[in-house]
A = this chain, B = another copy of it.
């Protein structure tokens, strides 16, 4: 599955729920799929052009002018199912917090602590947002998509909770560090072992 196909999948999927303009696509993806997916204009507009050329999508409303929205064609629906059936490609991990903590010996224990606390705080915010989304879903807004949306919300909750638990693990480990005064964090530490 080529890289850009991933964007096509998201765009076709969103249009399968409701016709939208390119701008609206970005907004919807950000708001509804935001906690596990993201697209930028630079991906969406080329993808729409390509999809239109292939007849998977049609432009509706005053062309040339603005606020033209795109609609899924029958071929587009078929293509969407094909794309969804392909194996997902996982993106490369890049966790800036863990990178900093791995080199925590250079950064110093206090800064490490702050980093962990901030991360925990963000995770708590996300957990609250997921619970709110779950409550809103219970009011029955999404029709047939509801159980599937629930699955993605559950993922957000589990992930946020795991981050909170890990933060507490990390704080405990950092606390044991302080007991041994060891090297001052701002002076040159000895060359690392190995």
Chain A contacts with B in 66-100, Cβ cutoff 8 A:
77, 80-81, 84-85, 88-100
Of A10-18, A44-52, A55-63, the segment with at least 4 beta carbons within 8 Å of chain B is A10-18
Residues of B within 8 A of A91 (CB): 94, 96
Partner of A148, one of B6, B104, B163: B104
| Interface size of A as a range | 35 or more
Give, as a whole number of angstroms, the nearest-CB distance from A165 to chain B: 6
- A34, B99: Cα distance in complex, Å: 11
Partner of A106, one of B80, B95, B96: B80
Answer whether A169 and B151 are a contact pair too, CB < 8 Å, given A93-B35, A103-B84, A115-B88: yes
The 6 A-B pairs of least Cβ separation, nearest first, read A143-B193, A88-B96, A162-B162, A104-B148, A38-B92, A158-B166
Please give 10 more A-B residue pairs, beta carbons under 8 A apart, in addition to A6-B96, A142-B194: A10-B99, A16-B106, A33-B99, A34-B93, A88-B95, A88-B96, A105-B145, A142-B193, A143-B194, A158-B162
